[in-house]
Amino acid sequence: MNKITGLIAATFAAYREDGTINLDIIPSLVDKMINDGLSGVFICGTNGEGPNLTIEERMAIAEAYVKAANKRILVLVHVGHSSIAECRKLAAHAEKIGADAISSVAAFYFKPTSVSNLVNSMAQIASAAPNTPFYYYSIPTLTGVGMDMISFLELAENAIPNLAGIKYTASTLHEYQACLNYRNGKFDILFGYDEMLLPALAVGAKGAIGSTYTFAAPLYIKVMKMYEDGLNEEAAAVHMNAVNMVRELVKFPPIPAQRALMKMEGFDLGKCRLPLEPLSDKDADSFRSALEGIGFFKVVKEALQCHE
């Protein structure tokens, strides 16, 4: 697989009234992602509540996405789990169904204690799907595993033959830049902090994965186009809309708030699973008012019309 350019949406889990997973909504979600100009989807990750799902549910979701995408956009399957044996099952399954890539976080209960320990763990996961590109998913704020990513690449490039790169979800842009430039850009380092997309582009980012691309992709795609065209001040002004949206979003629990936003855009994903809890009606109304106050829905709609 070549390096990924453009945006990958980290999609959300969808549930029915009885709490079971809703696979029926996936084709319409995939169509939305394609219409919005995305390059792919990242499923069963943080926003997809991977750790809240059984591995059977995760496999069913992966199958539904691969089928719905039908090679029109990329499908990256997150296979991370606190058990490496379960990771391997998920990885082998993703390869079998034709996923475009797999990715895994570090174990988050018994945590890796060194870079070599982390690399050994990832190598064992990746080897279960030897013909599928593998991305290490670095998200220290959630896993509590924060190691030097250049050291990781130095060890992993030999230990993991199918290593494609890193899903880099951290705000340390200097390390991100160092990873991008490691061995003359040998690896695909996908940026994961949506509200810092423009600064990431400035240090060389070409691809990114994020949750807000699920509902605001046209805005970010407009930023990328303006940046490519050398319209730096204009890109910064458009990017500020994304920053303002995220500033409102983080006043609430982030995943429930984004799920509420998806509902505002016409996609009812049902209630999230405990310990996550949906926003109250009052908070959802307050959030909607705040988004309307900053003109969020209007700028996304305008950006989509420009893209079309």
> What's the full length of the chain, in residues?
308
Total tally of structural domains belonging to the chain: 1
Mean pLDDT for 241-261 is: 96
**Least-confidence region, from 12-16, 82-86, 145-149:** 145-149
CA distances from 282 to 19, 47, 288 (A): 22, 23, 10
**Least-confidence region, from 95-104, 138-147, 186-195:** 138-147
In-domain check, residue 225: yes
pTM: 0.96
Task: Return the CA Rg of the chain.
Answer: 18
Using pLDDT thresholds of 50, 70 and 90, give the confidence band for residue 140: confident
Q: List pLDDT tens digits, range 90-135.
A: 999 999 999 999 999 998 889 899 999 999 999 999 999 999 999 9
In-domain check, residue 66: yes
Q: How far is the C-alpha of 177 from the C-alpha of 127, rounded, in Å?
A: 28
Q: Which residues of 220-250 are buried (b: 16+ CB within 10 A; e: fewer)?
A: bbbbbbbbeeeeeeebeebbebbebbbebbe
The set of residues, in sequence order, having a beta carbon less than 8 Å from that of 78 and lying 6+ positions away, is 42, 43, 44, 45, 48, 50, 102, 103, 104, 105, 137
Q: How far is CA 228 from the centre of its chain?
A: 22
Instruction: Give me the CATH number covering residue 76.
Output: 3.20.20.70
Q: How far is the C-alpha of 195 from the C-alpha of 171, rounded, in Å?
A: 10
Using pLDDT thresholds of 50, 70 and 90, give the confidence band for residue 200: very high
In-domain check, residue 291: no
Report pLDDT for 262.
Answer: 97
Tell whether residue 209 is among the known ligand binding residues: yes
**Which of 90, 132, 142 lies closest to 111 in space, CA to CA?**
142
pLDDT over threshold 90, residue 275 = yes
pLDDT over threshold 70, residue 307 = no
Residue numbers of the domain that contains 29: 6-229
**Which of 308, 307, 299 lies closest to 216 in space, CA to CA?**
299
Report pLDDT for 144.
Answer: 67
In-domain check, residue 221: yes
Reply yes or no on whether 137 is catalytic: yes
Q: How far is the C-alpha of 65 from the C-alpha of 73, rounded, in Å?
A: 10
In-domain check, residue 298: no
Q: Which of 65, 167, 182, 220 is catalytic?
A: 167
Q: Which of 15, 135, 136, 137 is catalytic?
A: 137
Report pLDDT for 308.
Answer: 64
pLDDT over 70 percentage in the chain: 98
Q: List pLDDT tens digits, range 24-46.
A: 999 999 999 999 999 999 999 99
In-domain check, residue 60: yes
Instruction: Read off the tokens for 247.
Output: 């500033």
Using pLDDT thresholds of 50, 70 and 90, give the confidence band for residue 49: very high
In-domain check, residue 270: no
In-domain check, residue 264: no
